[in-house]
């Protein structure tokens, strides 16, 4: 049975293991990783069958919203949905107009159409800077969407230094924050967000698969991979499933509410569920991992 926790002041009781739907972006022939459209349905239904009740998506995640609407909108009462606005496609340079009131309102309506829903539970700004939000008064737009009933709660997905400022404003219900054993930079920010009453949604908790491959998606991957190698964690974790162990390390953060691990592999999904059910690592192993990683981080050149 997956453990649940209250997502801050939203009051939503979410499973500690959520599902990040980025891998639902498209089929192989269109540049995605899904072997077929039907496989997206198999994965999404398996997510719900496993008891996971929090799903994260975004317009920038290709056909992810479309597949959610197509394959599991009929099971809407079994899960909470989080989507985003402000970035039309992952990897494409951000245009300032994406943060305008008109662009956000249009994005929300398009998302609801693809999801086949009347509302989303959480609506996030997708990776803005403080300047983006202030210039376009995005908070006022999100509050307008919330007042309309199209989103129950509002938040932001962001990284340092912007996320610390957003937490200090006290206006967002939730924050999506990157955190793992190999990316501890936002550790204190997660604590601050929860202390302010907000929900915390963690991405990257399984260290982006860095122990298993030398190359991967995302700007953060090279840094994460380098820290894995320099910390010598392969020696510490010998004989263990390293990705599951890394996820269980992240689970120990007392202010982290739900972790949106994503996959299109049904066996990986099962492994994520098993790791979540096992819970955090024992304190001795947790400390050994932390000591190795923090030493590697301390040895990095400063900008």
Of 138, 259, 163, which Cα lies nearest the Cα of 208? Answer: 259
- Please check whether the domain covering 4-209+256-279 is classified as CATH 3.20.20.100: yes
pLDDT digits (tens, 9 = 90+) for 260-290: 999 999 999 999 999 999 999 999 999 999 9
Q: Is the pLDDT confidence value at 208 over 90?
A: no
Q: State how far the alpha carbon of 125 is from the alpha carbons of 16, 59, 193, 256, in Å.
A: 22, 11, 16, 19
Of 69, 50, 73, 72, which Cα lies nearest the Cα of 61? Answer: 69
pLDDT digits (tens, 9 = 90+) for 105-156: 999 999 999 999 999 999 999 999 999 999 999 999 999 999 999 999 999 9
Of 213, 216, 178, 174, which Cα lies nearest the Cα of 196? Answer: 174
Q: Could you confirm whether 61 is annotated as catalytic?
A: yes
pLDDT digits (tens, 9 = 90+) for 117-127: 999 999 999 99
Domain ranges (residues) in the chain:
4-209+256-279
What pLDDT is stored for residue 195 in this prediction?
98
Sorted by sequence, the CB contacts under 8 Å of residue 289 that are 6+ apart come out as 181, 233, 236, 237, 249, 281
Catalytic residue among 61, 79, 179, 249: 61
Residue 44, phi then psi, degrees to nearest 5? -65, -40
Q: pLDDT band at residue 95, thresholds of 50, 70 and 90? A: low
């Amino acid at each position: 049975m997956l453990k649940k926790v209250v997502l801050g002041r939203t009051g939503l009781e979410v499973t500690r293991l959520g599902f990040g739907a980025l891998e639902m972006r498209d089929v192989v022939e269109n540049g995605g990783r899904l072997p077929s459209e039907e496989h997206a349905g198999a994965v999404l239904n398996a997510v719900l069958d496993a008891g996971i009740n929090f799903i994260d998506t975004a317009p920038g995640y290709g056909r992810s919203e479309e597949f959610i609407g197509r394959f599991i909108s009929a099971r809407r009462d079994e899960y909470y949905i989080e989507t985003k606005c402000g970035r039309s496609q992952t990897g494409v340079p951000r245009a300032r107009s994406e943060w305008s009131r008109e662009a956000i309102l249009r994005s929300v309506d398009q998302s609801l159409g693809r999801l086949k829903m009347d509302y989303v539970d959480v609506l996030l700004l997708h990776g803005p800077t403080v300047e983006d939000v202030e210039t376009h008064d995005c908070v006022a737009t999100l509050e307008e969407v919330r007042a309309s009933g199209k989103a129950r709660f509002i938040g932001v997905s962001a990284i340092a230094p912007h996320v610390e400022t957003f937490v200090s404003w006290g206006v967002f219900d939730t924050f999506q924050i990157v955190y793992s054993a190999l990316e501890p930079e936002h550790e204190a920010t997660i604590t601050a967000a929860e202390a302010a009453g907000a929900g915390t949604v963690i991405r990257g908790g399984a260290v982006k698969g860095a122990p298993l491959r030398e190359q991967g998606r995302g700007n953060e991957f090279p840094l994460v991979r380098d820290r894995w190698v320099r910390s010598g964690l392969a020696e510490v974790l010998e004989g263990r499933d390293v990705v599951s162990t890394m996820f269980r390390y992240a689970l120990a953060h007392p202010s982290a509410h739900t972790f949106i691990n994503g996959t299109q592999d049904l066996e990986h999904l099962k492994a994520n569920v098993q790791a979540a059910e096992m819970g955090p690592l024992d304190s001795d192993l947790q400390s050994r991992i932390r000591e190795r990683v923090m030493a590697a981080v301390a040895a990095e050149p400063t900008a």
